[in-house]
Amino acid sequence: MNDVVPGVQVDIQVETAIEMPDEALQQVLREAIMTAAAEVGAIAAGEMTLVITDDARMRALNQTYRDIDATTDVLSFVAMDDSEAGQLVVPDEMPAYLGDVVISWPRACRQAEERGHSVEGELSLLAIHGLLHLLGHDHGEALDKAAMWAIQQIALRRLGYEEVKPADE
């Protein structure tokens, strides 16, 4: 288990489908996820996979799973929804598998440049955003969006990314 934030344990598997910076950036992303998990306080232990990929793969995933023929910055794939939660028997000592978060590296780089902040900050925002979706947060309604954006901002501030703000989509 990764233990960056005391009291929160999330094992994060980072996979890169493209050439990207070194392990230091992967650690930044782990810390962002751990910080958001601690902020939400919803996880005692859990596992997730974070995949960094390119725009072509992201477009294919977006087309397949959302029927949108365009790339996007981040997608979250929840391991199981509430209707499936009781169907899986997992020993108490095993952490829950939360799901997968996929981030487009080129899109994150472009957004960071357009918004005038660091790539690390943008990737941290996207990783946090993805984790919050895995934990059941959504931004379809105004109140839900305000709550989700507030959690993101608190976590980003704790990480030192004061200048990074979610897009007002």
In a domain, residue 73? The reply is yes
- The parent domain of residue 31 ranges over 9-158
In a domain, residue 166? The reply is no
What tens-digit pLDDT sequence spans the chain (169 residues)? 343 444 445 566 666 666 665 778 888 998 999 899 888 875 556 788 888 899 999 999 999 999 999 999 999 999 865 544 444 445 566 667 888 999 999 999 999 999 999 999 999 999 999 999 988 889 989 999 999 999 999 999 999 998 888 776 5
In a domain, residue 123? The reply is yes
What CATH number corresponds to the domain at position 133? Answer: 3.40.390.30
Count up the domains in the chain and report the number: 1
In a domain, residue 31? The reply is yes
Q: Are 119 and 109 in contact (CB under 8 A)?
A: yes
In a domain, residue 151? The reply is yes
What b/e sequence results for 107-123 when a residue is b if at least 16 CB atoms lie within 10 Å of its CB, and e otherwise? bbeebbeebebebbbbb
In a domain, residue 163? The reply is no
In a domain, residue 90? The reply is yes
